[in-house]
């Protein structure tokens, strides 16, 4: 693609152009923001990050990397060809869309945002599309699956270049859909600015990420920006509590779900057991009974968001509902460990790491528990500090026994994090603090007696406990809990043999 053509796509953002006219007719082999990926003939986007400023390496990239030209946010060596823009993230989004030829136009695009439930919705959408015989891709917190190439990245939503490249790969490989979680960070940082969605979903909005967003209002508005990014015939699927906020966006079609008579997709008669959740769904397509293997009332809402979007796209309702029933859920989302039943207890691993998510999963466990609910929880480092005592307040109010422990400190002092969490511990609650996470899980399982539920929260699917950037210890809650459970089973078996 000609450099001139790419530059035309970002002309509105340019404040200074230092590129000779004859150079603009040169072919560009790739657009990058990572110096390690540069190949001869590249257009490179410079950015000043929190830890590194790529403006400082332009001379090297030009001489040794064969970069054709640069897009910058400030002045650089005038002997180099570059355009300066007032927002390199916005420029990146438009360059990515242009370079990869707007691949979302050839895909059924599903984007979901919300404080909780994004992962479940994105994975369920992918599952149903697979059951329909379609191939495609997934981007999200637990896993990225780009036409069978599975990998994990740190961000829930990758940068604009990566997303467009992944969409282009999906199209090139014959894929027909792209399902993705859309974080508030990505919406605020223009990572998805040039994507257009067939379905945009909103699960809920409760407090989170106020370490990044200056105010809760800013967080809300970032989430709502997703609905500015619908295709001309796109569908907004929104929990009824937020319908008024989204309606101000003048979306092509707004569909609501909830429990009231006003909801277009009305949920009623929710029933949850250890075998899953059933509910009645009343919609323009009739009244249907829905079953999901996922546990918890809140999953009825996640399921309905996906169902509503697919119904509105024209898929056959009974077929979609049948495929919902075959979805087993997501790794680390209210995930039972069956082996614990040999001890007469239930052990659940869940990703809940906000006050609202903790409340939902504890109440779900409470409905199912024959005995007590014992909760292991903690707060991550380098995250919203204001929610830390709020998490303790929720857990110590709702749990029979609360065990506070270390989550992912990410460079913060674990003991200082715990002190901030402890400020929310409720008087007269049965609350323990066990700094070592394995010991805390062991304590919870040891304290549990027949009929109790142990709920291990905060990290879900995550395979490493992150203490600092350089110290990451293999630690998956499910694996650690299973190891403890099996050791107790073996110990009990040995005692029985000795008798």
Write out pLDDT tens, residues 211-247. 666 787 888 888 899 999 999 999 999 999 999 888 8
pLDDT at position 229: 96
Q: What is the pLDDT of residues 449-477, one digit of tens each?
A: 999 999 999 999 899 899 998 899 999 99
What does the mean pLDDT of the chain come to?
93
In this prediction, residue 173 has a pLDDT band, given cuts at 50, 70 and 90, of very high
pLDDT at position 298: 92
Q: What is the mean pLDDT of residues 327-355?
A: 94
Smallest Cα–Cα separation from 123: which of 138, 106, 101? 138
State the Cα–Cα distance between residues 391 and 398, nearest whole angstrom.
Answer: 11
Which of 5-19, 29-43, 146-160, 316-330 is the least confident region?
Answer: 146-160
Which of 3-17, 233-247, 279-293, 482-496 is the least confident region?
Answer: 482-496
Between residues 119 and 497, which one has the greater pLDDT? 119
pLDDT at position 195: 97
Q: What is the pLDDT of residues 39-64, one digit of tens each?
A: 999 999 998 877 889 999 999 999 98
pLDDT at position 59: 94
Q: Report percent pLDDT > 70 for the chain.
A: 96
Which of 2-6, 217-221, 431-435, 482-486 is the least confident region?
Answer: 217-221
Q: What is the mean pLDDT of residues 113-137?
A: 94
CB 210 within 8 A of CB 243: no
CB 474 within 8 A of CB 464: yes
Q: What is the pLDDT of residues 386-412, one digit of tens each?
A: 899 999 999 999 999 999 999 999 999
Q: What CA–CA distances, in Å, run from 360 to 38, 355, 395, 399, 402?
A: 46, 9, 11, 12, 16
Q: What CA–CA distances, in Å, run from 158 to 165, 187, 189, 257?
A: 11, 11, 11, 29
Between residues 40 and 206, which one has the greater pLDDT? 40
Q: What strand order describes the sheet that includes 346-350? A: 335-336, 346-350, 453-457, 373-377, 401-404, 431-433
pLDDT at position 6: 96
pLDDT at position 321: 98
Residue with tokens 């404040």: 15
pLDDT at position 291: 98
Which of 3-7, 246-250, 299-303 is the least confident region?
Answer: 246-250
pLDDT at position 210: 60
Smallest Cα–Cα separation from 417: which of 457, 382, 442, 459? 382
pLDDT at position 157: 74
Q: What is the mean pLDDT of residues 88-92?
A: 94
pLDDT at position 219: 81
Q: What is the mean pLDDT of residues 426-444?
A: 97
Task: Please check the confidence at residue 205 and state whether its pLDDT lies above 60.
Answer: yes
Task: Please check the confidence at residue 197 and state whether its pLDDT lies above 70.
Answer: yes
Beta strands in 301-391 (DSSP E): 335-336, 346-350, 373-377
Between residues 163 and 184, which one has the greater pLDDT? 163
Q: What is the pLDDT of residues 474-496, one digit of tens each?
A: 999 999 999 999 999 988 766 66
Q: What is the pLDDT of residues 322-336, one digit of tens each?
A: 999 999 999 999 999
Task: Please check the confidence at residue 432 and state whether its pLDDT lies above 70.
Answer: yes
State the Cα–Cα distance between residues 212 and 156, nearest whole angstrom.
Answer: 15
Q: What is the mean pLDDT of residues 186-196?
A: 91
State the Cα–Cα distance between residues 369 and 308, nearest whole angstrom.
Answer: 31
Which residues pair with residue 180 across a beta bridge? Answer: 111, 139
Which of 79-93, 195-209, 210-224, 379-393 is the least confident region?
Answer: 210-224
Which of 155-169, 248-262, 342-356 is the least confident region?
Answer: 155-169
In this prediction, residue 206 has a pLDDT band, given cuts at 50, 70 and 90, of confident
């Amino acid at each position: 693609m000609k450099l001139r053509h790419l530059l035309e796509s970002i002309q509105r953002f340019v404040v200074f152009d230092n590129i000779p006219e004859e150079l603009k007719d040169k072919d560009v082999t790739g657009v990058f923001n990572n110096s390690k990926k540069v190949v001869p003939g590249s257009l490179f986007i410079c950015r000043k990050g929190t830890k590194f400023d790529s403006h400082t390496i332009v001379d090297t990239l030009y001489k040794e990397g064969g970069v054709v030209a640069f897009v910058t946010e400030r002045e650089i060596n005038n002997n180099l060809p570059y355009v300066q823009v007032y927002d390199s993230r916005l420029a990146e989004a438009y360059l990515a869309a242009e370079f990869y030829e707007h691949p979302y136009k050839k895909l059924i695009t599903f984007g979901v945002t919300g404080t909780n439930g994004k992962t479940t919705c994105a994975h369920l959408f992918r599952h149903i599309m697979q059951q329909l015989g379609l191939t495609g891709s997934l981007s999200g917190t637990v896993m990225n699956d780009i036409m069978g190439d599975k990998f994990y990245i740190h961000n829930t939503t990758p940068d604009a270049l990566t997303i467009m490249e992944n969409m282009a790969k999906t199209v090139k490989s014959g894929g027909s859909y792209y399902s993705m979680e859309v974080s508030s960070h990505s919406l605020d940082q223009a990572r998805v600015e040039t994507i257009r969605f067939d379905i945009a979903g909103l699960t809920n909005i409760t407090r989170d990420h106020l370490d990044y967003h200056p105010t809760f209002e800013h967080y809300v508005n970032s989430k709502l920006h997703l609905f500015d990014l619908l295709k001309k015939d796109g569908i907004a699927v929104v929990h009824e509590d937020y319908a008024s906020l989204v309606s101000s966006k003048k979306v092509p079609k707004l569909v609501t779900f909830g429990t009231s008579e006003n909801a277009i997709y009305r949920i009623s008669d929710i029933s949850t057991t250890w075998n899953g959740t059933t509910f009645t769904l009343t919609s323009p397509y009739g009244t249907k009974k829905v079953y999901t293997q996922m546990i918890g009332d809140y999953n009825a809402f996640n399921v309905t968001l996906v169902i509503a979007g697919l119904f509105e796209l024209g898929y056959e309702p009974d077929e979609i509902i049948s495929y919902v029933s075959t979805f087993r859920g997501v790794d680390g989302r209210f995930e039972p460990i069956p082996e614990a039943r040999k001890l007469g207890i239930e052990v659940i691993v869940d990703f809940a790491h906000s006050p609202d998510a903790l409340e939902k999963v504890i109440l779900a466990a409470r409905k199912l528990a024959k005995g007590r609910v014992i909760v292991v929880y903690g707060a991550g480092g380098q995250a919203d500090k204001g929610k830390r005592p709020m998490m303790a307040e929720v857990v110590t109010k709702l749990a029979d026994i609360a065990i506070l422990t270390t989550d992912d400190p990410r460079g913060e002092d674990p003991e200082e994090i715990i002190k901030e969490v402890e400020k929310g511990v409720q008087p007269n609650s049965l609350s323990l603090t066990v700094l070592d996470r394995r010991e805390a899980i062991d304590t919870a399982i040891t304290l549990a007696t027949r009929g109790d539920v142990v709920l291990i929260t905060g990290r879900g699917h995550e395979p490493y406990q992150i203490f600092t950037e350089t110290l990451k210890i293999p630690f998956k809650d499910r694996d650690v809990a299973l190891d403890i459970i099996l050791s107790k089973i073996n110990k009990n078996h040995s005692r029985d043999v000795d008798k």
